[in-house]
Structure 1
Amino acid sequence: MGLRLKFNLILCLVTCIGLLLAGYFGDLLLKKNAREQVLQTAQIMMESAIAVRNYTVSEVRPLLAVQQRRQFIPQTVPAYAASKYIAKLQETHPDYSYKEATLNPTNPQNRAAAWEEDIISYFRSHRDENTFVGERDTPAGRSLFFSRPIEIKKPGCLACHSRAADAPQTLIDTYGSANGFGWKLNEIVGAQVVSVPMELPFEHARSAFQTFMGALIGIFFLIIILLNILLHFFVIKPVRLMSAKAEEVSMGALDVEELPVKGNDEISSLAHSFNRMQRSLGSAVKMLDETMD
């Protein structure tokens, strides 16, 4: 097995190990960044929904307070305003969603699905947690959800949700008296849930990973070529020349031209030693011939 083959086998082994490690950690990093991007989008959607809720309570509801006594106006309900806001987003991004999932909602559209009930149960059993993040499979692909608990902290909320007898008549006329009542102060009745698709960011991550690995393989391939060129000119070629000279000297050709010496590295030092050995051997043979004569 030649020196070049041994060198390339070791180099290929090291390259394969390096590519595997780079691919493993690169894939982890890109997927982590993609998930953080999705989570950041979900957090922005949640903050936007909360901002719309606060605006509805502080700006819209007071303006419509008088009309609300004669007719129920859903635009004064924070959950309705936030849902309508996200509905506009869904016109161009249908896979994005926001819902104020409730176990016993006034509006049946807000009734929690089975997986949303699990989120509410989580908040009820972990009252010190303010957020809950997870992933689930949807018909459109993998989706990340970001949720916050809906907790009754203000007694004013119970005016419409404690007992049907105490609720505004306009509310009863709109939704009936069967649902949305029996809520208690400091009770977690539901969860704000934002869902963001993960497929597109992960597709970008896969594309970036393929580009990264392609560039890395190309760089390693170029390095292997350059190292082989350097190996040929600085190691293999001088060694072959010395091997040929050694073959000639071993056959008795002591007057052959000495090896050219360039540089000050180990190969040059070996060439110096070979030339010195050749001169010493030639002098020894010459002395032996003179003695015999």
Structure 2
Amino acid sequence: MRLLFKFNLIFLVVFIAGVLGAGKVSYDLLQSNAKEEVLNHARLTIEKASAVRTYTNDQIRPLLETQMKYTFLPQTVPAYSATEVLATLSKSFPDYTYKEATLNPTNPRDRAADWEADIVNRFRTQADKKEFVGERDSGTGRSLYIARPLRITNAACLACHSTVEAAPRTLIDKYGQANGFGWQLNEVIGAQVVSVPMAVPLARAEQAFKVFMGSLIGIFVAIGIVLNLMLYLLVIRPVTALSKLANRVSLGELDAPEFKTHGRDEIGMLAQSFARMRHSLDHAIKMLET
């Protein structure tokens, strides 16, 4: 078995082991990083919604209080404003969906689905929880979601949601008396939920993984080519030439040309040792002949 073949066989084994090991580690890491990146974007989405809620409650609602006596304006409701703004934003980022899932909403579109209701109830039973992150099956495949509780911390909210009798007449005229009442101060009434299809982080991870693995394989191949060239030029070729010269000398061709080398490495030292051995052999033969 030739030296170059042995070297390439060992290199191939190391190459395969390295690629498989690096592939496994990088794939898991990229999946985790992609998921975390999507979650960070989802958290930013919730923060945007919360900012809109605060702005609506502090800036918009006071300006429209007089008009609210004559007609109910949903634009004064923080939940409505946040949902509308995020719905507009989702036109540019359709993968992200935002919902203020509520167990007993005034606006029917905010009613929590079964899986959202489970999240809200978890917040109600685990008061110390500030956020839930999870995955679920949806009609389009696996989805990643992040949820934060909606808690009544402002007593002003109860002016519309405590009892039917206390609620503004304009609100009842618009939404009726069936829903959105009976809320309590400090009660968790819903959750801000951002959902993202798992295909989004998975696609990002897959793309990054392909680029990484392609680059890694390319680097390994380039290293293999360079090492093969170095091995051939620095080891295989001089050793082969020295081997051929040794064969000629062993067959009695004492007048074969010297092996020329100027290196001081192991190959050069081997050539010098062979030259000394050859001279000693030549000298010994001449002594025997005389």
- After TM superposition, the score normalised by the length of structure 1 is 0.91
AA aligned to 1:223 is: I
Q: Which residue of 2 aligns with 1:16?
A: 16
* Aligned residues of 1:162 and 1:182 also touching (Cα < 8 A): yes
Q: Unaligned 5+ residue runs, structure 2?
A: none
User: Is the deviation greater in 78-87 or in 63-72?
Assistant: 63-72
Match of 2:274 in 1: 274
Is 26-35 or 242-251 further displaced after alignment? 26-35
Match of 1:160, SS state, is helix
Residue of structure 2 in register with 1:158 after alignment: 158
Q: Which residue of 1 aligns with 2:139?
A: 139
Task: Determine helix, strand or coil for the equivalent of 2:26.
Answer: helix
Please report how far the alpha carbon of residue 282 of structure 1 lies from its aligned counterpart in structure 2 after TM superposition.
1.5
Q: Judging changes above 3 Å, is the alpha-carbon distance between structure 1 residues 47 and 258 closer, same or farther for their aligned structure 2 residues?
A: same
Deviation per CA, 1:186-227, whole angstroms, max 9, x where unpaired?
221110112234434542432232222222222221221221
TM-score (norm 2): 0.92
Structure 2 Cα separation of the partners of residues 118 and 266 of structure 1 = 74
Superposition deviation, residue 127 in structure 1: 1.8
**AA aligned opposite 2:285:** V
Q: Which deviates more, 70-79 or 21-30?
A: 21-30
Q: Flag structure 1 segments of 5+ consecutive residues without an equivalent.
A: none
Q: How do residues 26-175 of structure 1 correspond to structure 2 at under 5 angstroms? A: 26-175=26-175
Contact 2:148 2:191 in 1 (8 A): yes
Residue number in structure 2 paired with 1:176: 176
Q: Residue deviations 1:14-38, cap 9 Å, x none?
A: 1112212222233233323322331
- Compared CA separation, residues 85 and 286, structure 1 to 2 (3 A): same
Confirm or deny: 8 A CA contact 1:95 1:140 kept in the other structure. Answer: no
CA contact (8 A) 1:262 1:268 kept: yes
2:4 is matched with which residue? 4
**What code does the residue aligned with 1:164 have?**
V
For 1:91 and 1:255, how far apart are their aligned partners in 2? 88
Identity rate, percent: 54
Name whichever of 196-205 and 62-71 sits farther off. 196-205
Residue 233 of structure 1: aligned partner: 233
Which residue identity lines up with residue 121 of structure 1 in the other structure? N
The answer to whether the 8 A contact 1:41-1:196 is kept is: no
Q: Would the aligned equivalents of 2:95 and 2:200 in 1 still touch at CA under 8 Å? A: no
More displaced 10-residue stretch of structure 1: 184-193 or 212-221: 212-221
Give the Cα separation in 1 of the matches to 2:37 and 2:238. Answer: 56
Whether the 8 Å contact between 1:38 and 1:197 is mirrored in structure 2 is: no
How far apart are 1:249 and its partner, in Å?
Answer: 2.2
Further displaced range: 72-81 or 32-41: 32-41
Task: Report the number of matched residues.
Answer: 290
Structure 2 Cα separation of the partners of residues 159 and 103 of structure 1: 18
Report the AA paired with residue 279 of structure 1: H
